Amino acid sequence: MSAPCKGRVVIGVIGDDIHVVGNRIMQLALEESGFRVFNIRTRNRPHHFTEAALEVNADAVFVSSLNGEGEYWCANFRQPYAELGMAGILLYVGGNLVVGKRSQADVCDLFRRYGFDRVYHQIPDIGRAISDLEQDLLNGSSLSRC
């Protein structure tokens, strides 16, 4: 018998970004850790993530941005989720989130203001995000359990 699924996660790359390697690695790592992954891959507008999350009843959305467009496309990212009755969904963002050199704290603050629960700017260790997700889901209340 297979192990129970830990949660449903939508993943994808935002904007006109075509950097796909991290996205593929993230899918494999999440699946290996027991999550069900819905990968919308590259070149997504914010509403593509919202629609996918609604369709699959996701527990979390993982947004990637590598090419520097993240600051533009992620502004007010959480707003439509609240409007669609998904106010409690976990929103994580990671990759190379801004253009130029900025401190981790500044980048983190900015994306927290956009509505993300967790921000991973230039942090290649996906294992850290996965254990944060496991913890956040344990602390949360609205789990679909696949």
Q: Which positions touch ligand B12 (CB under 6 A)?
A: 16-22, 25-26, 62, 64, 66-68, 92-96, 99, 120, 124, 126, 129
CA 15 vs. chain centroid, Å, equals 14
Candidates 17, 59, 117, 121; catalytic one: 17
21 vs 138, beta carbon nearer ligand B12: 21
Asked if 19 is an active-site residue, the reply is: yes
Cα(109)–Cα(106) distance, rounded to whole angstroms? 5
* Least distance from ligand B12 to the Cβ atom of residue 95, Å: 4
* Least distance from ligand B12 to the Cβ atom of residue 133, Å: 8
User: What is the three-class DSSP state of 13?
Assistant: strand
Cα(13)–Cα(24) distance, rounded to whole angstroms? 10
| DSSP-derived secondary structure letter, 100 | S
* Least distance from ligand B12 to the Cβ atom of residue 109, Å: 17
Candidates 19, 48, 132, 136; catalytic one: 19
Rg of the Cα atoms in the chain: 14
Structure tokens at 114: 């956009």
73 vs 120, beta carbon nearer ligand B12: 120
* Least distance from ligand B12 to the Cβ atom of residue 1, Å: 30
User: What is the three-class DSSP state of 92?
Assistant: strand
5 vs 126, beta carbon nearer ligand B12: 126
88 vs 127, beta carbon nearer ligand B12: 127
Asked if 17 is an active-site residue, the reply is: yes
Residue least distant from ligand B12 (Cβ): 22
Cα(108)–Cα(121) distance, rounded to whole angstroms? 7
Cβ atoms of residues 145 and 7 within 8 Å? yes
Residues annotated as catalytic (active site), given as ranges: 17, 19
